[in-house]
Amino acid sequence: MDAKVRLYVDQPLGQGQAVALGADQAHYLFSVMRLAKGAAVALFNGRDGEWRAEVAEAGKRGGVLVCDRQTRALLMPPDLWLLFAPIKKARTDFIVEKAVEMGARRILPVQTRHTNSERIRQDRLQAHAVEAAEQCGGTYVPEVADLVALERLLAGWPEGRRILWCDESLVGAAQGLAGAEPGPWAILIGPEGGFSEGEKAKLRAMPAVLPVSLGPRILRADTAAVAALALWQAALGDWR
Amino acid sequence: MDAKVRLYVDQPLGQGQAVALGADQAHYLFSVMRLAKGAAVALFNGRDGEWRAEVAEAGKRGGVLVCDRQTRALLMPPDLWLLFAPIKKARTDFIVEKAVEMGARRILPVQTRHTNSERIRQDRLQAHAVEAAEQCGGTYVPEVADLVALERLLAGWPEGRRILWCDESLVGAAQGLAGAEPGPWAILIGPEGGFSEGEKAKLRAMPAVLPVSLGPRILRADTAAVAALALWQAALGDWR
Protein backbone atom coordinates (compact mmCIF):
# COMPACT_ATOMS: atom_id res chain seq x y z
CA MET A 1 0.00 0.00 0.00
CA ASP A 2 1.30 3.41 -0.91
CA ALA A 3 1.62 6.14 1.67
CA LYS A 4 -1.07 8.84 1.49
CA VAL A 5 0.62 11.07 4.04
CA ARG A 6 4.06 12.69 3.78
CA LEU A 7 5.67 13.81 6.98
CA TYR A 8 8.86 15.65 7.86
CA VAL A 9 10.61 14.28 10.94
CA ASP A 10 13.79 15.51 12.57
CA GLN A 11 15.17 12.01 13.19
CA PRO A 12 17.45 9.58 11.34
CA LEU A 13 15.81 7.39 8.70
CA GLY A 14 17.10 4.01 7.45
CA GLN A 15 16.28 0.34 7.02
CA GLY A 16 14.40 -0.91 10.11
CA GLN A 17 14.84 2.44 11.86
CA ALA A 18 12.15 3.19 14.47
CA VAL A 19 10.84 6.76 14.53
CA ALA A 20 9.12 8.02 17.67
CA LEU A 21 6.32 10.51 17.15
CA GLY A 22 5.51 13.48 19.34
CA ALA A 23 2.00 14.35 20.46
CA ASP A 24 1.28 16.74 17.55
CA GLN A 25 2.31 14.28 14.87
CA ALA A 26 0.48 11.41 16.60
CA HIS A 27 -2.66 13.54 16.75
CA TYR A 28 -2.34 14.39 13.05
CA LEU A 29 -1.72 10.81 11.89
CA PHE A 30 -4.08 8.91 14.15
CA SER A 31 -6.90 11.35 14.90
CA VAL A 32 -7.00 13.69 11.88
CA MET A 33 -5.88 11.25 9.16
CA ARG A 34 -7.21 8.20 11.05
CA LEU A 35 -4.27 5.96 10.24
CA ALA A 36 -4.17 2.64 12.12
CA LYS A 37 -1.43 0.12 12.90
CA GLY A 38 0.14 -1.16 9.67
CA ALA A 39 -0.71 1.97 7.63
CA ALA A 40 2.03 3.42 5.44
CA VAL A 41 3.50 6.92 5.83
CA ALA A 42 6.17 8.62 3.72
CA LEU A 43 8.91 10.18 5.85
CA PHE A 44 11.76 12.55 5.03
CA ASN A 45 14.18 14.45 7.23
CA GLY A 46 16.10 16.60 4.76
CA ARG A 47 19.13 14.27 4.87
CA ASP A 48 18.23 10.63 4.15
CA GLY A 49 15.81 10.88 1.23
CA GLU A 50 12.22 9.64 1.48
CA TRP A 51 11.31 6.41 3.30
CA ARG A 52 8.17 4.33 3.43
CA ALA A 53 7.38 3.59 7.06
CA GLU A 54 4.62 1.61 8.74
CA VAL A 55 2.71 2.46 11.87
CA ALA A 56 3.94 0.05 14.58
CA GLU A 57 2.31 1.72 17.58
CA ALA A 58 -0.50 4.28 17.54
CA GLY A 59 -1.40 6.11 20.72
CA LYS A 60 -3.10 9.32 21.78
CA ARG A 61 0.09 11.04 22.88
CA GLY A 62 2.65 9.36 20.68
CA GLY A 63 3.43 6.46 18.42
CA VAL A 64 6.17 4.63 16.57
CA LEU A 65 6.78 4.23 12.85
CA VAL A 66 9.28 1.76 11.40
CA CYS A 67 11.03 2.46 8.08
CA ASP A 68 10.88 -0.39 5.57
CA ARG A 69 12.35 0.97 2.33
CA GLN A 70 13.72 4.11 0.71
CA THR A 71 11.29 5.44 -1.89
CA ARG A 72 13.35 8.44 -3.05
CA ALA A 73 16.95 9.52 -2.83
CA LEU A 74 17.75 12.87 -1.26
CA LEU A 75 17.35 15.65 -3.80
CA MET A 76 19.49 18.54 -2.61
CA PRO A 77 18.54 21.79 -4.32
CA PRO A 78 21.37 23.73 -5.96
CA ASP A 79 23.41 26.07 -3.75
CA LEU A 80 21.01 28.97 -4.21
CA TRP A 81 19.89 31.44 -1.55
CA LEU A 82 16.80 33.62 -1.80
CA LEU A 83 17.08 37.06 -0.18
CA PHE A 84 13.88 39.07 0.03
CA ALA A 85 12.41 41.92 2.05
CA PRO A 86 9.39 40.68 4.02
CA ILE A 87 6.05 42.13 2.99
CA LYS A 88 2.52 41.52 4.18
CA LYS A 89 2.08 38.25 6.05
CA ALA A 90 0.19 36.30 3.39
CA ARG A 91 2.65 37.26 0.68
CA THR A 92 5.68 36.52 2.86
CA ASP A 93 4.25 33.05 3.57
CA PHE A 94 3.74 32.69 -0.12
CA ILE A 95 7.35 33.57 -0.94
CA VAL A 96 8.59 30.94 1.51
CA GLU A 97 6.25 28.30 0.04
CA LYS A 98 7.36 29.15 -3.50
CA ALA A 99 11.07 29.19 -2.61
CA VAL A 100 10.73 25.62 -1.31
CA GLU A 101 8.86 24.41 -4.40
CA MET A 102 11.27 26.15 -6.74
CA GLY A 103 14.33 24.63 -5.06
CA ALA A 104 16.11 27.33 -3.07
CA ARG A 105 18.53 25.94 -0.48
CA ARG A 106 18.34 28.80 2.02
CA ILE A 107 15.81 31.57 2.58
CA LEU A 108 17.01 34.86 4.06
CA PRO A 109 14.54 37.62 4.93
CA VAL A 110 16.43 40.91 4.75
CA GLN A 111 15.72 44.30 6.23
CA THR A 112 16.24 47.09 3.69
CA ARG A 113 15.76 50.86 4.06
CA HIS A 114 12.26 50.59 2.60
CA THR A 115 11.20 47.28 4.15
CA ASN A 116 7.79 47.67 5.76
CA SER A 117 8.15 44.81 8.17
CA GLU A 118 10.44 45.31 11.19
CA ARG A 119 10.23 41.74 12.36
CA ILE A 120 9.25 38.29 11.24
CA ARG A 121 8.23 35.14 13.03
CA GLN A 122 11.11 32.90 12.01
CA ASP A 123 9.57 29.82 13.64
CA ARG A 124 6.30 30.30 11.77
CA LEU A 125 8.08 30.77 8.44
CA GLN A 126 10.22 27.66 9.09
CA ALA A 127 7.06 25.63 9.81
CA HIS A 128 5.65 26.97 6.56
CA ALA A 129 8.74 25.74 4.71
CA VAL A 130 8.31 22.26 6.25
CA GLU A 131 4.67 22.18 5.14
CA ALA A 132 5.59 23.25 1.60
CA ALA A 133 8.23 20.49 1.42
CA GLU A 134 5.68 17.93 2.62
CA GLN A 135 3.28 19.11 -0.11
CA CYS A 136 5.62 19.41 -3.07
CA GLY A 137 7.26 16.03 -2.73
CA GLY A 138 10.62 17.55 -1.84
CA THR A 139 13.06 15.66 0.36
CA TYR A 140 14.85 18.78 1.59
CA VAL A 141 13.68 21.67 3.78
CA PRO A 142 15.48 25.00 3.26
CA GLU A 143 16.49 26.81 6.41
CA VAL A 144 14.68 30.12 6.94
CA ALA A 145 17.15 32.51 8.55
CA ASP A 146 16.34 35.26 11.02
CA LEU A 147 15.75 38.75 9.67
CA VAL A 148 19.08 40.45 9.02
CA ALA A 149 19.90 43.95 7.79
CA LEU A 150 20.85 43.87 4.11
CA GLU A 151 23.73 46.25 4.78
CA ARG A 152 25.19 43.91 7.40
CA LEU A 153 24.70 40.85 5.23
CA LEU A 154 26.47 42.50 2.29
CA ALA A 155 29.32 43.73 4.51
CA GLY A 156 30.18 40.13 5.36
CA TRP A 157 29.22 38.63 2.02
CA PRO A 158 30.90 35.22 1.42
CA GLU A 159 33.57 35.24 -1.25
CA GLY A 160 32.66 33.36 -4.38
CA ARG A 161 28.87 33.61 -4.00
CA ARG A 162 27.31 35.65 -6.80
CA ILE A 163 24.15 37.74 -6.43
CA LEU A 164 21.41 37.92 -9.04
CA TRP A 165 20.00 41.36 -8.30
CA CYS A 166 16.44 41.80 -9.52
CA ASP A 167 15.28 45.37 -9.63
CA GLU A 168 12.56 47.13 -11.54
CA SER A 169 14.86 50.09 -12.16
CA LEU A 170 17.11 47.84 -14.24
CA VAL A 171 14.96 47.55 -17.38
CA GLY A 172 17.21 47.81 -20.40
CA ALA A 173 20.39 48.14 -18.32
CA ALA A 174 20.51 44.54 -17.19
CA GLN A 175 22.75 41.85 -18.58
CA GLY A 176 20.80 38.71 -17.88
CA LEU A 177 21.99 35.23 -17.08
CA ALA A 178 23.44 34.30 -20.48
CA GLY A 179 27.08 33.42 -19.95
CA ALA A 180 26.81 33.25 -16.16
CA GLU A 181 28.58 30.36 -14.44
CA PRO A 182 27.00 27.82 -12.07
CA GLY A 183 28.22 27.76 -8.47
CA PRO A 184 27.03 29.36 -5.22
CA TRP A 185 24.47 32.07 -5.97
CA ALA A 186 21.89 34.20 -4.22
CA ILE A 187 18.82 35.90 -5.67
CA LEU A 188 18.03 39.32 -4.22
CA ILE A 189 14.47 40.62 -4.56
CA GLY A 190 13.79 44.23 -3.64
CA PRO A 191 11.18 45.57 -1.25
CA GLU A 192 7.94 46.92 -2.71
CA GLY A 193 9.18 50.48 -2.19
CA GLY A 194 12.37 49.68 -4.14
CA PHE A 195 15.97 49.85 -2.93
CA SER A 196 17.35 53.12 -1.52
CA GLU A 197 19.96 55.05 -3.51
CA GLY A 198 22.61 54.00 -0.99
CA GLU A 199 21.70 50.32 -1.34
CA LYS A 200 21.75 50.58 -5.11
CA ALA A 201 25.19 52.22 -5.08
CA LYS A 202 26.52 49.52 -2.77
CA LEU A 203 25.11 46.72 -4.95
CA ARG A 204 26.42 48.29 -8.16
CA ALA A 205 29.90 48.44 -6.64
CA MET A 206 30.05 44.74 -5.69
CA PRO A 207 31.73 42.57 -8.35
CA ALA A 208 29.64 39.58 -7.17
CA VAL A 209 26.44 41.29 -8.29
CA LEU A 210 24.75 40.54 -11.62
CA PRO A 211 21.82 42.92 -12.23
CA VAL A 212 18.83 41.48 -14.07
CA SER A 213 15.60 42.95 -15.35
CA LEU A 214 12.30 41.14 -14.95
CA GLY A 215 10.55 42.89 -17.81
CA PRO A 216 8.73 46.16 -18.42
CA ARG A 217 5.89 45.68 -15.92
CA ILE A 218 6.26 46.22 -12.17
CA LEU A 219 6.14 42.86 -10.40
CA ARG A 220 5.06 42.30 -6.84
CA ALA A 221 7.84 40.86 -4.68
CA ASP A 222 6.23 37.41 -4.59
CA THR A 223 5.90 37.29 -8.38
CA ALA A 224 9.47 38.50 -8.81
CA ALA A 225 10.77 35.79 -6.47
CA VAL A 226 9.16 32.96 -8.46
CA ALA A 227 10.15 34.48 -11.81
CA ALA A 228 13.80 34.95 -10.79
CA LEU A 229 14.01 31.45 -9.31
CA ALA A 230 12.62 30.04 -12.59
CA LEU A 231 15.16 31.91 -14.74
CA TRP A 232 18.04 30.88 -12.49
CA GLN A 233 16.99 27.22 -12.26
CA ALA A 234 16.56 26.97 -16.04
CA ALA A 235 19.92 28.66 -16.75
CA LEU A 236 22.15 27.38 -13.95
CA GLY A 237 20.21 25.07 -11.63
CA ASP A 238 18.59 21.64 -11.62
CA TRP A 239 16.01 22.43 -14.31
CA ARG A 240 18.66 22.25 -17.01
CA MET B 1 1.12 67.01 -8.99
CA ASP B 2 1.52 63.34 -9.75
CA ALA B 3 -1.43 60.99 -9.67
CA LYS B 4 -1.62 58.75 -6.62
CA VAL B 5 -4.50 56.68 -7.98
CA ARG B 6 -4.53 54.54 -11.13
CA LEU B 7 -7.89 53.69 -12.59
CA TYR B 8 -9.04 51.52 -15.48
CA VAL B 9 -11.93 53.08 -17.44
CA ASP B 10 -13.72 51.62 -20.43
CA GLN B 11 -13.83 54.94 -22.31
CA PRO B 12 -11.70 56.69 -24.94
CA LEU B 13 -8.74 58.69 -23.61
CA GLY B 14 -7.03 61.59 -25.39
CA GLN B 15 -6.04 65.25 -25.14
CA GLY B 16 -8.89 67.21 -23.50
CA GLN B 17 -11.12 64.13 -23.46
CA ALA B 18 -13.80 64.20 -20.72
CA VAL B 19 -14.35 60.91 -18.89
CA ALA B 20 -17.64 60.40 -17.05
CA LEU B 21 -17.47 58.32 -13.88
CA GLY B 22 -20.05 55.84 -12.67
CA ALA B 23 -21.28 55.72 -9.08
CA ASP B 24 -18.75 53.06 -7.97
CA GLN B 25 -15.74 54.90 -9.33
CA ALA B 26 -17.00 58.23 -7.97
CA HIS B 27 -17.42 56.65 -4.56
CA TYR B 28 -13.89 55.22 -4.70
CA LEU B 29 -12.22 58.46 -5.84
CA PHE B 30 -14.18 61.01 -3.82
CA SER B 31 -15.25 59.16 -0.66
CA VAL B 32 -12.60 56.45 -0.18
CA MET B 33 -9.57 58.25 -1.62
CA ARG B 34 -10.96 61.72 -0.78
CA LEU B 35 -9.88 63.35 -4.04
CA ALA B 36 -11.26 66.84 -4.66
CA LYS B 37 -11.67 69.01 -7.75
CA GLY B 38 -8.29 69.55 -9.42
CA ALA B 39 -6.73 66.32 -8.09
CA ALA B 40 -4.80 64.16 -10.55
CA VAL B 41 -5.71 60.58 -11.49
CA ALA B 42 -3.89 58.21 -13.83
CA LEU B 43 -6.25 56.57 -16.32
CA PHE B 44 -5.84 53.72 -18.79
CA ASN B 45 -8.30 51.81 -20.91
CA GLY B 46 -6.20 49.05 -22.44
CA ARG B 47 -5.99 50.87 -25.80
CA ASP B 48 -4.75 54.47 -25.46
CA GLY B 49 -1.88 54.16 -22.98
CA GLU B 50 -1.91 55.98 -19.64
CA TRP B 51 -3.20 59.53 -19.24
CA ARG B 52 -3.01 62.06 -16.45
CA ALA B 53 -6.48 63.44 -15.84
CA GLU B 54 -7.84 66.03 -13.43
CA VAL B 55 -11.04 65.95 -11.48
CA ALA B 56 -13.37 68.52 -13.10
CA GLU B 57 -16.58 67.58 -11.27
CA ALA B 58 -16.88 65.49 -8.12
CA GLY B 59 -20.31 64.30 -6.99
CA LYS B 60 -21.78 61.60 -4.82
CA ARG B 61 -23.17 59.60 -7.72
CA GLY B 62 -20.75 60.51 -10.47
CA GLY B 63 -18.10 62.90 -11.67
CA VAL B 64 -16.04 64.01 -14.62
CA LEU B 65 -12.30 63.76 -15.24
CA VAL B 66 -10.53 65.60 -18.05
CA CYS B 67 -7.36 64.13 -19.63
CA ASP B 68 -4.45 66.57 -19.88
CA ARG B 69 -1.48 64.53 -21.10
CA GLN B 70 -0.34 61.03 -21.95
CA THR B 71 2.07 59.71 -19.31
CA ARG B 72 2.77 56.28 -20.86
CA ALA B 73 2.33 54.74 -24.27
CA LEU B 74 0.29 51.57 -24.57
CA LEU B 75 2.40 48.53 -23.71
CA MET B 76 0.77 45.56 -25.41
CA PRO B 77 1.98 42.26 -23.97
CA PRO B 78 3.28 39.70 -26.46
CA ASP B 79 0.74 37.43 -28.16
CA LEU B 80 0.79 34.90 -25.34
CA TRP B 81 -2.20 33.05 -23.90
CA LEU B 82 -2.23 31.35 -20.52
CA LEU B 83 -4.36 28.19 -20.29
CA PHE B 84 -4.83 26.73 -16.84
CA ALA B 85 -7.22 24.45 -14.97
CA PRO B 86 -8.97 26.42 -12.21
CA ILE B 87 -8.12 25.35 -8.69
CA LYS B 88 -9.19 26.66 -5.29
CA LYS B 89 -10.56 30.20 -5.36
CA ALA B 90 -7.61 32.00 -3.76
CA ARG B 91 -5.08 30.28 -6.01
CA THR B 92 -7.16 30.87 -9.14
CA ASP B 93 -7.35 34.59 -8.25
CA PHE B 94 -3.63 34.47 -7.76
CA ILE B 95 -2.99 32.94 -11.19
CA VAL B 96 -5.04 35.69 -12.83
CA GLU B 97 -3.16 38.41 -10.90
CA LYS B 98 0.21 36.87 -11.83
CA ALA B 99 -0.72 36.42 -15.50
CA VAL B 100 -1.48 40.15 -15.72
CA GLU B 101 1.78 41.16 -14.02
CA MET B 102 3.81 38.74 -16.11
CA GLY B 103 2.34 40.02 -19.37
CA ALA B 104 -0.05 37.40 -20.76
CA ARG B 105 -2.41 38.80 -23.39
CA ARG B 106 -5.31 36.41 -22.81
CA ILE B 107 -6.25 34.16 -19.89
CA LEU B 108 -8.22 30.98 -20.62
CA PRO B 109 -9.45 28.79 -17.75
CA VAL B 110 -9.79 25.25 -19.13
CA GLN B 111 -11.74 22.26 -17.94
CA THR B 112 -9.67 19.08 -18.00
CA ARG B 113 -10.59 15.51 -16.98
CA HIS B 114 -9.08 16.08 -13.54
CA THR B 115 -10.11 19.72 -13.01
CA ASN B 116 -11.71 20.06 -9.60
CA SER B 117 -13.68 23.17 -10.40
CA GLU B 118 -16.74 22.78 -12.63
CA ARG B 119 -17.40 26.50 -12.95
CA ILE B 120 -15.74 29.84 -12.51
CA ARG B 121 -17.06 33.36 -11.98
CA GLN B 122 -15.72 34.94 -15.17
CA ASP B 123 -16.87 38.44 -14.13
CA ARG B 124 -15.06 38.18 -10.80
CA LEU B 125 -11.85 36.96 -12.43
CA GLN B 126 -12.05 39.76 -15.03
CA ALA B 127 -12.45 42.34 -12.23
CA HIS B 128 -9.42 40.77 -10.59
CA ALA B 129 -7.43 41.23 -13.81
CA VAL B 130 -8.42 44.92 -13.92
CA GLU B 131 -7.29 45.38 -10.32
CA ALA B 132 -3.95 43.68 -11.02
CA ALA B 133 -3.38 45.94 -14.04
CA GLU B 134 -4.18 49.02 -11.92
CA GLN B 135 -1.63 47.81 -9.34
CA CYS B 136 1.23 46.74 -11.58
CA GLY B 137 1.38 49.85 -13.71
CA GLY B 138 0.23 47.96 -16.81
CA THR B 139 -1.68 49.79 -19.54
CA TYR B 140 -3.38 46.66 -20.85
CA VAL B 141 -5.95 44.33 -19.27
CA PRO B 142 -5.94 40.74 -20.55
CA GLU B 143 -9.34 39.27 -21.33
CA VAL B 144 -10.33 36.39 -19.05
CA ALA B 145 -12.31 33.91 -21.17
CA ASP B 146 -15.15 31.72 -19.96
CA LEU B 147 -14.32 28.21 -18.84
CA VAL B 148 -13.97 25.94 -21.88
CA ALA B 149 -13.29 22.21 -22.15
CA LEU B 150 -9.63 21.61 -23.05
CA GLU B 151 -10.69 18.94 -25.55
CA ARG B 152 -12.96 21.40 -27.39
CA LEU B 153 -10.34 24.14 -27.32
CA LEU B 154 -7.69 21.83 -28.79
CA ALA B 155 -10.11 20.50 -31.45
CA GLY B 156 -10.44 24.01 -32.87
CA TRP B 157 -6.90 25.16 -32.07
CA PRO B 158 -5.82 28.14 -34.24
CA GLU B 159 -3.21 27.33 -36.86
CA GLY B 160 0.19 28.81 -36.18
CA ARG B 161 -0.20 29.21 -32.41
CA ARG B 162 2.28 27.05 -30.53
CA ILE B 163 1.64 25.53 -27.11
CA LEU B 164 4.22 25.38 -24.33
CA TRP B 165 3.01 22.33 -22.45
CA CYS B 166 4.17 22.25 -18.83
CA ASP B 167 3.76 18.92 -17.17
CA GLU B 168 5.41 17.31 -14.19
CA SER B 169 5.57 13.98 -16.02
CA LEU B 170 7.93 15.51 -18.59
CA VAL B 171 11.10 15.67 -16.47
CA GLY B 172 14.01 14.59 -18.62
CA ALA B 173 11.88 14.13 -21.73
CA ALA B 174 11.30 17.82 -22.36
CA GLN B 175 13.06 19.90 -24.98
CA GLY B 176 12.82 23.37 -23.50
CA LEU B 177 12.56 26.72 -25.24
CA ALA B 178 16.06 26.89 -26.75
CA GLY B 179 15.62 27.27 -30.48
CA ALA B 180 11.89 28.06 -30.28
CA GLU B 181 10.60 30.86 -32.51
CA PRO B 182 8.67 33.93 -31.35
CA GLY B 183 5.11 34.34 -32.60
CA PRO B 184 1.66 33.46 -31.22
CA TRP B 185 2.03 31.09 -28.28
CA ALA B 186 0.01 29.65 -25.43
CA ILE B 187 1.23 28.24 -22.12
CA LEU B 188 -0.70 25.23 -20.84
CA ILE B 189 -0.53 24.43 -17.13
CA GLY B 190 -1.98 21.14 -15.96
CA PRO B 191 -4.50 20.56 -13.18
CA GLU B 192 -3.23 19.52 -9.76
CA GLY B 193 -4.28 15.93 -10.47
CA GLY B 194 -2.27 15.93 -13.70
CA PHE B 195 -3.52 15.42 -17.24
CA SER B 196 -5.42 12.23 -18.14
CA GLU B 197 -3.78 9.65 -20.40
CA GLY B 198 -6.15 10.66 -23.23
CA GLU B 199 -5.22 14.33 -22.86
CA LYS B 200 -1.53 13.51 -22.83
CA ALA B 201 -1.85 11.39 -25.99
CA LYS B 202 -3.75 14.19 -27.74
CA LEU B 203 -1.15 16.80 -26.73
CA ARG B 204 1.77 14.61 -27.75
CA ALA B 205 0.20 14.16 -31.19
CA MET B 206 -0.18 17.90 -31.89
CA PRO B 207 2.75 19.37 -33.86
CA ALA B 208 2.05 22.78 -32.25
CA VAL B 209 2.93 21.42 -28.81
CA LEU B 210 6.35 21.93 -27.21
CA PRO B 211 6.66 19.95 -23.96
CA VAL B 212 8.70 21.54 -21.20
CA SER B 213 9.78 20.39 -17.76
CA LEU B 214 9.69 22.71 -14.78
CA GLY B 215 12.26 20.82 -12.77
CA PRO B 216 12.40 17.82 -10.46
CA ARG B 217 10.03 19.10 -7.74
CA ILE B 218 6.24 19.07 -8.10
CA LEU B 219 5.00 22.64 -8.50
CA ARG B 220 1.58 23.86 -7.55
CA ALA B 221 -0.38 25.18 -10.53
CA ASP B 222 0.06 28.81 -9.48
CA THR B 223 3.84 28.41 -9.11
CA ALA B 224 4.04 26.61 -12.45
CA ALA B 225 2.12 29.43 -14.17
CA VAL B 226 4.52 32.15 -12.97
CA ALA B 227 7.60 30.00 -13.69
CA ALA B 228 6.48 29.15 -17.24
CA LEU B 229 5.55 32.76 -17.98
CA ALA B 230 9.01 33.86 -16.80
CA LEU B 231 10.83 31.33 -18.99
CA TRP B 232 8.72 32.26 -22.03
CA GLN B 233 9.06 36.02 -21.52
CA ALA B 234 12.83 35.76 -21.10
CA ALA B 235 13.26 33.50 -24.16
CA LEU B 236 10.65 34.84 -26.59
CA GLY B 237 8.72 37.72 -25.06
CA ASP B 238 9.24 41.31 -23.96
CA TRP B 239 11.82 40.52 -21.26
CA ARG B 240 14.48 39.89 -23.91
Question: Do B30 and B97 fall into the same domain?
Answer: no
Q: Hey, how many other C-beta atoms are within 10 angstroms of the C-beta on A91?
A: 17
Helix (H/G/I), strand (E/B), else coil: B186: strand
pLDDT mean over B6-35 = 95
The candidate with the shortest Cα–Cα distance to B221, out of B70, B105, B94, B43, is: B94
Q: Is the dihedral of CA B119, B121, B123, B126 positive or negative?
A: negative
The candidate with the shortest Cα–Cα distance to B192, out of B232, B216, B164, B224, is: B224
DSSP A118-172: S---HHHHHHHHHHHHHHHT-S--PEEPPPEEHHHHHHTPPTT-EEEEE-GGGTT
Chain A residue with Cα closest to B103: A217
Q: Confidence class of residue B171 from pLDDT cuts 50, 70 and 90? A: low
Residue B214 sits at the chain A interface (C-beta within 8 Å): yes
Question: Do A190 and A214 fall into the same domain?
Answer: yes
Q: How many Å apart are CA A164 and CA A240, to the nearest integer?
A: 18
Contact A101 B239 (CB under 8 A): no
Question: Do B194 and B98 fall into the same domain?
Answer: yes
Which of A6, A101, A212 should we substitute to test contact with B (largest number of B Cβ atoms within 10 Å)? A101
Q: Hey, how many other C-beta atoms are within 10 angstroms of the C-beta on A143?
A: 13
What would the pLDDT profile of B115-132 be if each residue is shown by its tens digit? 877 788 999 999 999 999
Contacts of A225 in chain B (CB under 8 A): none
Specify if A1 maps to a domain: no
Question: Do A90 and A64 fall into the same domain?
Answer: no
Tally of domains within chain B: 2
Question: Do B45 and B29 fall into the same domain?
Answer: yes
User: CB contacts < 8 Å between A and B, how many?
Assistant: 90
Residue A101 has its nearest CB partner, among B75, B213, B223, at B223
What would the pLDDT profile of B140-166 be if each residue is shown by its tens digit? 999 999 999 999 999 999 999 999 999
**Helix boundaries (H) for B137-193:** 150-155
What would the pLDDT profile of A110-164 be if each residue is shown by its tens digit? 999 988 777 889 999 999 999 999 988 889 999 999 999 999 999 999 999 999 9
Question: Do B60 and B145 fall into the same domain?
Answer: no
Contacts of B223 in chain A (CB under 8 A): 98, 101-102, 226
Task: Provide ipTM, 2 decimals.
Answer: 0.90
Q: How many Å apart are CA B151 and CA B203, to the nearest integer?
A: 10
C-alpha gyration radius of chain B: 20
Contact B102 A227 (CB under 8 A): yes
- B85, B191 contact by CB (below 8 A): yes
Residue A219 has its nearest CB partner, among B101, B213, B218, at B101
Q: Residue A32: give its domain's CATH number.
A: 2.40.240.20
Question: Do A120 and A223 fall into the same domain?
Answer: yes
Contacts of A238 in chain B (CB under 8 A): 215-216
At B160 the pLDDT is 95
Contact B216 A234 (CB under 8 A): no
Q: Residue A218: give its domain's CATH number.
A: 3.40.1280.10
Enumerate helices (H) and strands (E) in chain A, giving the number of each. Answer: 6, 12
Domain's final residue, options A54, A72, A90: A72
Q: How many Å apart are CA B200 and CA B211, to the nearest integer?
A: 10
At B149 the pLDDT is 94
Helix (H/G/I), strand (E/B), else coil: B164: strand
Enumerate helices (H) and strands (E) in chain B, giving the number of each. Answer: 6, 12
What would the pLDDT profile of B175-188 be if each residue is shown by its tens digit? 578 788 999 999 99
**Domain interval for residue B225:** 80-236
Specify if A67 maps to a domain: yes
Contact A136 B213 (CB under 8 A): no
